[in-house]
Structure 1
């Protein structure tokens, strides 16, 4: 195991790692146990609860499934821009509860409605079920703006880790089905298609939070055994990226997936798109959860909220 370099970690990150340490089951163990441990590990990071104007739970009845959503409102304004947010967790773990504080922070900081989507998890639901479900959820929300108090002309999508992958994948589908519906993408430390990279070789071990075995496990759960590694299920970088909405791409400097974010920003630029890339020093994959202790996490959330405001809030008349 490669030790964490002392000069790369602030004291807050060290404390966050100590708090997060616990008996988390290995990737080869029971998935239900993994999910339970993940939820327990994130529960402390969601305290204390951030107050908002309202937080409500609802169920979307879609063609292929029903999905829970959680609607975070910063005010009673009936037509606010919206961020559809997809939690991380390797497509296998995570929930609206595990990422509650992240979504509350983005709502409060951006002044927008945040709608968390409880998409179907793998391995019970393999690709493309989650992407299709997210696509349908976005369409359903945009088609019922009064019910959710959102402006259907100002809809964005975002997520972290696997959620960032799903956000980009769903946007690619919606680009063809409903051009212009998604106005902005908020993407934190996602995986977009690299199978090998310098950042994976440098940071993929226990010390940095994601091991090669875990990355393979999550990928197999999502795509299935023997799936084509070059397929669009995992390699979004090989897709046609022209015509995508502007994006904010946030990356952790000590993350095995760092190079995925760098590659995406480069690919968007080559497709003549717009992407703001921010790399946060001294932090690891999943660091957004640590905003109580790590100033860099709060900074990254504020940077994303700022980008959302610039893209979607109407200037004063």
Structure 2
């Protein structure tokens, strides 16, 4: 096993020396405050973009708030678009917690980004977040023209719990036989509500996302253990993945979710889906936005943006060689 990246090791040391309790010992409100404080401390100043616009989509239980980003110099040009679902265990996070990452992706990939502020647990348990993700995505497709977005070049993405929501939303689209989504960009996604992997055992303690954290998230999000088998919670358990689009998937070597993410990538390939899988060696769960403390994160964000830009290239560039499945880690 490769040693921890110096920046990742610094983050873990900082958590240990600060004496900050784990989320499992906090109320959801306390955990949200701690999560946002950590984001503010670890994220670099926001990247300048041309537009930051609040939006709302009608949802099943009221409006779903969203935030629309467009890169510098884009004007009113029709752009490809990334719909982004933030991480945070379905309990934490919001539009502000992932503002910096969404700005970076818009800037580096040259695309518009719409970040979705789905309902959080435990106030809104499963499948509330899933329902909001479906509603927001449908609204974005329906309103692509007024957003100056190319409806034929829309990708879904997200990190951790947000990656889970991106997969489930794409699966729902495939089940409806719509095939509207050009690509998926998954950042250390949660794919199965079980702990039955080697990485879950190896990194159960001391690597930011602990087993106790995950059990706390699960208990707040799920209505009962029966939900664990529902494909809308555990997309790994979906019967058919063949309708999913080209997928970019990033895992982290020192992350309990590493093995389930990589197993999901293998299932995609077996189903005939083209996949680019990257493992960030020496990194921990949630590292990508922590550029202030983990400088190596910048290169991974840049690589994801390059892959996304290629996946969202114009239709007339389709003759360019397609990416081939790459599972080397």
Which residue in 2 is equivalent to 1:125?
Answer: 124
More displaced stretch, 227-236 vs 72-81: 227-236
Query: Is residue 223 of structure 2 the alignment partner of residue 221 of structure 1?
Result: no
Q: Does 1:12 align with 2:7?
A: yes
Structure 1 residue runs of 4+, over 6 Å off?
none
1:301 aligned onto 2:298: no
The Cα offsets for residues 214-239 of structure 1, whole Å up to 9 and x where unpaired, read as 11111121112333532324321121
Structure 1 residues 180 and 41, CA, compared in 2 at 3 Å: closer, same or farther?
Answer: same
- Within 5 A, what are the aligned runs for 1:105-184? 105-177=104-176, 179-184=178-183
1:68 paired residue among 62, 65, 70: 65
Corresponding residue for 1:54? 51
Greater mean deviation of Cα atoms: 295-304 or 196-205: 295-304
Structure 1 unaligned residues grouped into runs of 5+: none
1:244: which partner in 2?
A: 244
TM superposition score normalised by structure 1: 0.92
Mapped partners of 2:315, 2:140: distance in 1:
24
Judged with a 3 Å threshold, the aligned counterparts in structure 2 of structure 1 residues 26 and 238 are, in CA distance, closer, same or farther, namely: closer
Q: How big is the shift at 1:292?
A: 3.2
Deviation (angstroms), 1:20? 5.7
Q: Distance in 1 between matches of 2:4 and 2:91?
A: 28
In structure 1, the residue matched to 2:311 is: 311
Cα pair distance change 1:24/1:55, threshold 3 Å = farther
What's the secondary structure of 1:146's corresponding residue? coil
Taking the aligned partners of 1:83 and 1:296, their CA distance within structure 2 comes to 23
| Separation in structure 2 between the aligned mates of residue 10 and residue 25 of structure 1, nearest angstrom | 22
The answer to whether 1:285 aligns with 2:270 is no
Q: Hey, what's the Cα distance between the residues in 1 that align with 2:6 and 2:307?
A: 28
Deviation of 1:270 after TM superposition, in Å, equals: 0.9
| Structure-2 residue corresponding to 1:200 | 200
The equivalent residue for 1:234 is 233
Q: CA deviation at 1:304?
A: 1.4
SS in 2 for 1:148: coil
Length-normalised TM-score, structure 2: 0.89
Alignment: residue pair count: 311
CA RMSD of aligned residues (A): 2.0
Matching residue of 1:188: 187
Q: CA deviation at 1:179?
A: 1.5
Moved more, 118-127 or 42-51: 42-51
Residue 268 (structure 2) aligns with = 268
Q: Which segment drifts farther, 7-16 or 20-29? A: 20-29
The Cα of 1:168 is off from its aligned counterpart by: 0.3
Q: Identify if the C-alpha distance between structure 1 residues 279 and 25 changes in structure 2 by more than 3 Å, giving closer, same or farther.
A: closer
Question: Distance between the aligned counterparts of 1:251 and 1:296, measured in 2?
Answer: 14
Helix, strand or coil: the match of 2:171? helix
User: Match of 2:218, SS?
Assistant: helix
Q: Secondary structure at the match of 1:201?
A: helix
Structure 1 SS opposite 2:225: coil
Offset from partner CA, 1:198-223 (integer Å, 9 cap, x none): 00000111x10122121111112111
